[in-house]
């Protein structure tokens, strides 16, 4: 369906001074034993092994004052030390900084991630091939602990879903907006989760379709009046993802908010599960669309599921525009709230 959701635009090695010790290569410590702790004042030669933040690290070449876990010179040898877990003292993730496989970082959402592959500072919650959740010291490795929809219930909701729409992709994406499905009472949180998933269910045919099915619409989503134009091509901004993000200005706005260049590369929304989910949550949390409030505000302020429909498709469905489509969304919402064990509340239609 051709829809124009009007969104607000969003926008070397040198001489050493002072005394410094030099550490020579040593045999790697066993898995249960930590090597000598890393010291920022010590110069290490290639092959030297140190411990830092509960792991042993091996230097690839000469280094000094480069913290293990944040510099390419260090390679992780895995956890060390006795039982009881290690505290979460890993460095903060820095966008654009090089990380080697084994590096552990603390992301902006407070959770920890370990690099599975070398990467130039990709976002751990988006580039899930490069990063994996890391449990440091017995904590919960789930990137979004406490989500009111368990994976088993999610699978019940979407028995025929495309594997692209993964549960892990959704929970990873939620870190971009921590208030999503975590605001208010347990009932409110479950109602919001059900409302979001009911709408994406409708938009994607039960999380089956990744892209808009009517290819004839594809060239229509380029608004040439925008100063940035359509650098990815006239027909590049068709609907993608759980809420079928479309139009060049929407890709620009979502990309700016999420730190992704979706205007140049809108195809990321159909290539990467977490990116697709993030665009949907971005819309849900920040955009009024053709309505008067964000879908998130509608649910946490008990304005009713009907207001979320208005914010997504407005007059195309509401006020008699397409009552069958509205009812389809309502049916899914009632089914999902039933699975979550909460009442759907009032004002279901628009």
Active-site residue, selected from the candidate residues 192, 203, 212, 307: 203
Give me the pLDDT at residue 85, please: 41
Q: What is the pLDDT of residue 265?
A: 97
Q: What is the pLDDT of residue 21?
A: 36
The pLDDT score that the predictor gives to residue 74 is 77
Tell me, letter by letter, the H, E, C secondary structure of the chain: CCCCCCCCCCCCCCCCCCCCCEECCCCCCCCCCCCCECCCCCEECCCCEEEECCEEEEECCCEECCCCCCCCCEEEEEECCCCCCCCCCCCECCCCCCECCCCEEECCCCCEEEECCCECCCCCCCCCCCEEECCCCCCCCCCCCCCCCCHHHHHHHCCCCCCCCCHHHHHHHHHHCCCCCCCCCHHHHHHHHHHHHHHHHHHHCCCCCCECCCHHHHHHHCCCCCCCCCCCCCCCCCCECCCCECCHHHHHHHHHHHCCCCCCCCCHHHHCHHHHHHHHHHHHHHCCCCCCCCHHHHHHCCCCHHHHHHHHHHHHCCCCCCHHHHHHHHHHHHHHHHHHCCCCCCCCCC
What local confidence, expressed as pLDDT, does residue 107 receive? Answer: 79
**291-310 pLDDT tens trace:** 999 999 999 999 999 999 99
Instruction: Enumerate residue ranges in the chain where pLDDT < 50.
Output: 1-32, 82-86, 138-144
Predicted local distance difference test score (pLDDT) of residue 109: 65
Q: What is the pLDDT, as a whole number, of residue 186? A: 86
What pLDDT is attached to residue 71?
64
Instruction: Give yes or no: 116 in active site.
Output: no
């Amino acid at each position: 369906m051709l829809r124009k959701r009007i969104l607000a635009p969003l926008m070397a090695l040198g001489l050493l001074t002072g005394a410094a010790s030099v550490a020579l290569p040593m045999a790697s410590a066993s898995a249960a034993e930590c090597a000598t702790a890393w010291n920022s004042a010590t110069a290490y030669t290639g092959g030297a092994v140190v411990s830092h933040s509960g792991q042993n690290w091996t230097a690839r070449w000469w280094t000094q004052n480069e913290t293990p876990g944040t510099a390419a010179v260090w390679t992780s040898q895995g956890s060390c030390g006795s039982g009881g877990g290690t505290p979460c003292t890993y460095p903060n993730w820095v966008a654009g900084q090089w990380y080697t496989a084994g590096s552990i970082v603390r992301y902006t959402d407070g959770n920890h991630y370990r690099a599975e592959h070398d990467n130039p500072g990709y976002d751990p919650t988006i580039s899930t091939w490069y990063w994996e959740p890391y449990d440091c010291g017995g904590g919960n490795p789930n990137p979004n602990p406490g989500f009111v929809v368990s994976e088993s219930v999610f699978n019940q909701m979407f028995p025929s879903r495309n594997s692209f729409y993964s549960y892990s992709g959704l929970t990873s994406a939620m870190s971009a907006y921590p208030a999503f499905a975590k605001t208010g009472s347990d009932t409110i949180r479950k109602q919001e989760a059900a409302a979001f998933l009911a709408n994406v269910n409708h938009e994607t045919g039960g999380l089956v379709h990744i892209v808009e099915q009517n290819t004839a619409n594809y060239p229509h989503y380029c608004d040439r009046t925008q100063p940035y134009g359509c650098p990815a091509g006239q027909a590049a901004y068709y609907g993608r993802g759980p809420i079928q993000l479309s139009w060049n200005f929407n890709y620009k706005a979502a990309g700016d908010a999420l730190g992704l260049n979706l205007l140049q590369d809108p195809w990321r929304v159909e290539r990467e599960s977490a990116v697709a989910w993030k665009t949907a949550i971005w819309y849900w949390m920040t955009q009024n669309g053709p309505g008067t409030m964000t879908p998130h505000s509608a649910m946490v302020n008990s304005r009713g599921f009907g207001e979320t429909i208005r914010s997504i498709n407005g007059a195309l469905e509401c006020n008699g525009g397409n009552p069958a489509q509205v009812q389809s969304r309502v049916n899914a919402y009632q089914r999902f709230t039933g699975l979550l064990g909460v009442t759907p509340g009032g004002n279901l239609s628009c």
